[in-house]
Amino acid sequence: MAKIALITGITGQDGSYLAEFLLKKRYKVHGIIRRVALEDKTHRLWRLRKILKKITLHAASLESYASLVKIIQRVKPNEIYHLGAQSYVDYSFKDEFSTLNTNINGTHYLLSAIKDFSPKSKFYFAGSSEMFGKVKKVPQNENTPFYPRSAYGISKVTGHDLTRNYREAYNLYCCTGILFNHESPRRGFEFVTRKISHSVARIKLGLQRKVILGNLEAKRDWGHAKDYVEAMWMMLQKKKPDDFVIATGKQHSVRDFAKLAFSMVGLNYKKYIEIDKNLLRPAEVQTLLGDYSKAKRVLKWKPKILFKNLVRDMVESDIKFVKRSGY
Ligand code: NAP
Ligand code: G4F
């Protein structure tokens, strides 16, 4: 019998790659989406357009416990991947309330629904390296203390605590993946890597003159989303649930990303970047670097696509995208 997976956040970067990955493994894939996505299909379902006929979408809301219970009872999933979240750190400073509400309550409602209505479902929670925030140790692993620096980071620490508590208190199969930044041509335009790759393409094609950025010295451990969704699945295939850091173990600054991206189209980044202090965050996460040795040892996972190829993939894809769409 084919396994059944339920994905929250299926319209996002990771949700779309995960859905494709699970379809290849012959899962029946179901996704929870917001009503707005159903109303505005061409725009909001763009990442799913090639697989729309192969998946089943259900309208529900992470803010409504009842709507989640209904879907879980109907779908009876073997595996639940909880990726839906207000995922943009900068926005979480502007709207703490909805970030905390969606991200914390959404996770709590799902866990509670699983406990009471589907206790055999395995649960994956999308934790984040933002939980380490103002880092206490370099590199960060599963034992590094958390010091979140935003409502987003706080919501992910709470989601992680809830996930562990449901595992320990109710013996449910619940895991947190503590994923470091991962990008791709499907990244949202608000995140710095996509903002840069998209601007590089537009500048090269004569549609834009400058790109305006904030903190160029922030350092991140950037991997490719395609590799990271595989790690999510691997976590749910083990006998015992556990938490894992997923990262590349290599760090680069925003400046490094921009320099490489511009150089790939033969341009010098210094001529095209302007700094706007309004884009600096009230509390910045200056440096993140992951130690994924536990995932390597236990899951036999390691990243396949490294920095240079990630940047190339994004720039080449955005050149095609801009030529095609004019946007
Ligand atoms: P993304 O592209 O921003 O996708 C977020 C998804 O959550 C979208 O499907 C979005 O739906 C949905 N969503 C947002 N607010 C919602 C709400 N109120 N109710 C229901 N759904 C809502 O994010 P991603 O990069 O794929 O990341 C997936 C998950 O991993 C997120 O939880 C994120 O916080 C976490 N994470 C990401 C990274 C990373 O580097 N990408 C690293 C660590 C952790 P709409 O399409 O309707 O907006
Ligand atoms: O691309 P970012 O917005 O990603 P950030 O804040 O690291 O968060 C992403 O990764 C987390 C994992 O660590 C996820 F949990 C989260 O959901 C999200 O996917 O910013 C990266 C860095 C920051 O230091 C920011 O200050 O880039 C810096 N930056 C500089 N100029 C900018 C800009 N960020 C954005 N978005 N836009 C800029 O113009």
> DSSP letters along 28-77, please?
EEEEEE-HHHHHTHHHHTGGGTTTGGGSEEEE--TT-HHHHHHHHHHH--
Protein residues with CB under 6 Å of any ligand 2 atom: 87, 89-90, 128-130, 180-181, 190-192, 195, 213-215, 218, 220, 254, 279, 281, 284-285, 288
pLDDT in tens, 64-74: 999 999 999 99
Alpha-carbon gap, residue 300 to 261, rounded angstroms: 31
* pLDDT (average), residues 29-53: 89
* pLDDT (average), residues 197-209: 98
C-alpha pair distances (Å), 243 with each of 156, 295, 320: 13, 9, 38
CB 167 within 8 A of CB 139: no
pLDDT at 40 over 90: no
Nearest CA to ligand 1 atom 33: 87
Residue holding tokens 């995960």? 18
DSSP 8-state code for residue 290: B
- What does the block give as tokens for 229? 């969704």
Amino acid symbol at 44: R
Among 132, 150, 180, 192, which residue has the most ligand 2 atoms within 8 Å of its CB, making it the best to mutate?
192
- Give the model's confidence band at 194: pLDDT under 50 very low, under 70 low, under 90 confident, else very high: very high
Whole-number pLDDT of residue 37: 78
Query: Out of 92, 118, 129, 130, which one is annotated catalytic?
Result: 130
Whole-number pLDDT of residue 42: 76
pLDDT at 162 over 80: yes
3-state secondary structure 151-212: HHHHHHHHHHHHHHHHHHHHCCCEEEEEECCEECCCCCCCCHHHHHHHHHHHHHCCCCCCEE
For residue 87, the CA-to-ligand 1 centroid distance in Å is 5
In 47-67, which positions are buried (b, 16+ CB within 10 angstroms) versus exposed (e)?
bbeeeeeebebbebbbeebeb
Alpha-carbon gap, residue 20 to 193, rounded angstroms: 23
Q: Is 216 exposed, middle or buried (0-12, 13-18, 19+ CB in 10 A)?
A: middle
Secondary structure (DSSP) of 210-261: -EEES-TT-EE--EEHHHHHHHHHHHTTSSS---EEE--S--EEHHHHHHHH
Q: Cα dihedral sign for 110, 115, 121, 124?
A: positive
- Give the model's confidence band at 38: pLDDT under 50 very low, under 70 low, under 90 confident, else very high: confident
Which atom of ligand 2 is found nearest the CA of 128?
15
pLDDT at 61 over 90: yes
Whole-number pLDDT of residue 221: 98
| Active-site residue flag, 128 | yes
pLDDT at 307 over 90: yes
Cβ-proximal residues to 123 (8 Å cutoff; 6+ apart), any chain: 79, 80, 82, 110, 111, 114, 163, 166, 172, 173, 174, 175
- Give the model's confidence band at 117: pLDDT under 50 very low, under 70 low, under 90 confident, else very high: very high
* pLDDT (average), residues 188-210: 98
Q: Does residue 11's CB lie within 6 angstroms of at least one atom of ligand 1?
A: yes
Alpha-carbon gap, residue 286 to 274, rounded angstroms: 20
- Give the number of other CB atoms < 10 A from CB of residue 195: 19
Query: Out of 16, 87, 92, 128, which one is annotated catalytic?
Result: 128
% the chain with pLDDT above 90: 97
Average pLDDT, the chain: 97
- Give the model's confidence band at 180: pLDDT under 50 very low, under 70 low, under 90 confident, else very high: very high
Among 157, 158, 220, which residue has the most ligand 2 atoms within 8 Å of its CB, making it the best to mutate?
220
Alpha-carbon gap, residue 227 to 234, rounded angstroms: 11
% the chain with pLDDT above 70: 100
Residue ranges and CATH numbers for the domains of the chain are 4-182+224-246 (3.40.50.720), 188-220+250-286+305-325 (3.90.25.10)
For residue 73, the CA-to-ligand 2 centroid distance in Å is 36
- Give the model's confidence band at 39: pLDDT under 50 very low, under 70 low, under 90 confident, else very high: confident
pLDDT at 41 over 90: no
Q: Could you tell me which of 230, 127, 86, 107 has the C-alpha nearest to residue 172?
A: 107
Nearest ligand to the C-alpha atom of residue 149: 2
Q: Does residue 145's CB lie within 6 angstroms of at least one atom of ligand 1?
A: no
Nearest CA to ligand 2 atom 34: 192
* pLDDT (average), residues 307-326: 97
pLDDT at 75 over 80: yes
Q: Please tell me whether the peptide bond between 139 and the residue prior to it is cis, using omega within 30 degrees of 0.
A: yes
Alpha-carbon gap, residue 200 to 262, rounded angstroms: 6
Q: Does residue 188's CB lie within 6 angstroms of at least one atom of ligand 1?
A: yes
Does residue 295 sit in helix, strand or coil?
A: helix
Alpha-carbon gap, residue 319 to 322, rounded angstroms: 5
* pLDDT (average), residues 147-153: 98
Q: Cα dihedral sign for 207, 213, 219, 225?
A: negative
